[in-house]
Amino acid sequence: MVNINPRIGQPSSVAGYGFGLGTILIAFIALAAFLSYFTVSAGHVAVTKRFGAVQEGIYHPGLHWKVPFLDSVEHVDVRLTSVDAKADAASKDLQVVTVQVSVPYSLEPAMIPAMINTLGSRERFEKAILANAIQESVKGATASFSAEELITKRGESKRQIVLAIAAFVNDTLNKKGLSGLAPIANVAISDFDFSREFNQAIESKVKMQEDAKRAEIEKLKTITEAEAKSEQVKLAADAEAYRTKAEAVSRAEAINAEGEALRKNPGLVQLRIAEKWDGVLPRFSGGQLPFLMMDPTKEDQPARPINAR
């Protein structure tokens, strides 16, 4: 007969309970150790919250410790990024214009705890402040320019928009005690879009200006050619007049010279006649025409035939 001791199983039950409790304790310690550290990535900072309250100080990239089960960690990207938005506005001459704006900015790490307490997150800052700044600033700035000036004075209109956005953001942050949270970098205005009717009107105006400029060029060309032709005619006339005058002067000088020669040598006439005679006497009904002889030593004498006695 076998005797069964009711206490034989008790030590086994206690041992099993102790083993289970030890396992739970080890698991708890391991979990606590696992939850007691965290890492921060490059370009980010972190803040801790204890029971929802933001703790002072920030954590830079690297490995850090926190109180497990009590502290939660919130990571915030502080790198340079940009918010792109389209803003609809009206110009001074009531033309509808759509402006594409890109606002680069970065967050100041030291201001992150205050930002989380006041705004909640970076996304909230972009939606609540930057988006409104873009819309209101574009509307205010474009109302100071006509639609044509937004194109021809692009640099000035862009400067006005940039100043308006920066002023809106800074004023809003100052009122919330977040001055210096988000330095605004260079604002980019990528495009001004106008209505189709306005674009067509601009194209027509540009075409008219080009046609007028082309007509002016043709007019100047015609005037220049006419002036050149007139000058050419004048030069030709001056040259002809000079040639005619020169010939007349030359002829007059020749006549004077020949007259002077005749006065000094009256027999020169007979010499010229003899030089030009071909040796044939002219014929007429009464016979041959005799040469007329004049005494070169006597003036105003009547001519007489060469065979007269």
Domain that holds residue 25: 19-77
The domain boundary, picked from 194, 213, 233, lies at 194
Q: Are residues 163 and 90 in the same domain?
A: yes
DSSP 78: -
CATH of the domain at 159: 3.30.479.30
Interatomic CA distance for residues 126 and 189, integer angstroms: 18
Q: Are residues 70 and 130 in the same domain?
A: no
Q: What is the pLDDT of residue 124?
A: 92
Q: Are residues 152 and 50 in the same domain?
A: no
Q: What is the pLDDT of residues 214-249, one digit of tens each?
A: 888 888 888 888 888 888 888 887 787 788 877 777
Residue 160 lies in a domain: yes
Residue 204 lies in a domain: no
Q: Are residues 85 and 69 in the same domain?
A: no
Residue 61 lies in a domain: yes
This prediction's pTM: 0.55
The domain boundary, picked from 34, 62, 77, lies at 77
Q: What is the pLDDT of residues 84-120, one digit of tens each?
A: 988 888 888 888 888 889 999 999 999 999 999 999 8
Q: What is the mean pLDDT of residues 8-27?
A: 66
Q: What is the pLDDT of residue 14?
A: 57
Q: Are residues 87 and 145 in the same domain?
A: yes
* Closest to 190 in 3D by CA, of 82, 308, 67, 60: 82
Residue 13 lies in a domain: no
Q: Are residues 109 and 156 in the same domain?
A: yes
Q: What is the mean pLDDT of residues 65-78?
A: 90
Band of residue 309 on the pLDDT scale cut at 50, 70, 90: very low
Q: What is the pLDDT of residues 165-199, one digit of tens each?
A: 989 999 999 999 999 999 887 788 877 887 777 76
Band of residue 30 on the pLDDT scale cut at 50, 70, 90: confident
Residue 231 lies in a domain: no
Which DSSP string corresponds to 231-280?
Answer: HHHHHHHHHHHHHHHHHHHHHHHHHHHHHHHHHH-TTHHHHHHHHH--S-
